[in-house]
Amino acid sequence: MSKTVLLGLIGAGVVGLAGCAVQSSPSPLMASSPTASRSAELHYTVTSLPTSEVHVLRIPAASAYQVVPAVAPEIADLATFAQQYDAIAVLNGGFFDPQNQKSTSYVTLQGQQVADPRQNERLVNNPDLIPYMDQILNRSELRRYRCTQNLRYAIALHRDPIPTNCELLDALGAGPQLLPELTSELEGFTATDATGTVIRDALGSRQPNARTAVGLTPDGDMLWVMAAQKPGVNPSGLSLSEMAEFLKSLGVTAALNLDGGSSSALFYEGTTVHGKLDAEGNPVRRPVKSVLVLRSAQNGQN
């Protein structure tokens, strides 16, 4: 039985944000090797770090591609999303509850909210989360605006106002922000007591793990980044601060953390790379609720 996936256009060509970048050179430990691709305008690399293999897909500004958020009524693997939309690439997206398969992140498509964490009863009725619920319901999202005749991307908190003379078209929620600063505590992912002791860390943010992120550069490029664990390395992966530093080294000035761990995955040109490894070093394959999809503009919607 085929699954229907709700789809919204994020853009015909990627338009970034204005601003100044502080760029740093990659560490000598980062041995980056481009992978051959039939998509000449895209740039796909795999960088080997001591604890992670980091997959990066750079989507140039004003390219002939669309970045599209999609959400399924039931969870699905990345290849399913890719097949349905003839996608070149798919990146796992926002958070969800694998038990009831409902989103815990907001998703807006073509101006309509199609995923609302307030409708996830296991989230809002969880007594352990009550102290953090206001923050959970105001986490960050990747937004696309139409401002007069221009498309503009931004990463903002869910309740942040829409800029003057702009219309919100699409948004994919996740969090926390990684750049320009880490917002884990602001968004209810972490908490400390009066002594500074960590009493909550929902993402294990200080520990290495498989991670996924999306970043924006001042010149308009969008980067999809998936940090996979390495076999035989323990602990393996990246912490959130390490992911932020890696993104900064690529010239990213605004970045959003997406669902990680077992959800981390990147589909590119027919192959899915999974970020999480089991104890034997085998990839953990986990279907997800929402994604970002990259496809040719000529296959997209008007």
Task: Find the range with the poorest average confidence among 17-21, 92-96, 265-269.
Answer: 17-21
112-142, pLDDT tens digit by residue?
Answer: 999 999 999 999 999 999 999 999 999 999 9
pLDDT at 26 over 60: no
- Count how many domains the chain has: 1
Structural domain includes residue 295: yes
Query: Amino acid identity of 22?
Result: V
Structural domain includes residue 230: yes
Nearest-angstrom CA–CA distance, 238 and 229: 8
Structural domain includes residue 140: yes
pLDDT of residue 87: 92
Structural domain includes residue 90: yes
Mean predicted lDDT score pLDDT of the chain: 87
Structural domain includes residue 1: no
Question: Do 246 and 238 contact (CB within 8 A), yes or no?
Answer: yes
DSSP state of 246: H
pLDDT, average across residues 185-196: 96
pLDDT, average across residues 33-47: 67
pLDDT at 298 over 90: no
pLDDT of residue 73: 87
Structural domain includes residue 279: yes
206-264, pLDDT tens digit by residue?
Answer: 999 999 999 999 998 999 999 999 999 999 999 999 999 999 999 999 999 999 999 99
pLDDT of residue 300: 54
pLDDT of residue 299: 65
Helix, strand, or coil (residue 136):
helix
Backbone phi, psi, residue 78, to 5°:
-65, -35
Structural domain includes residue 192: yes
Per the structure, the complete domain to which residue 13 belongs is given by 6-299
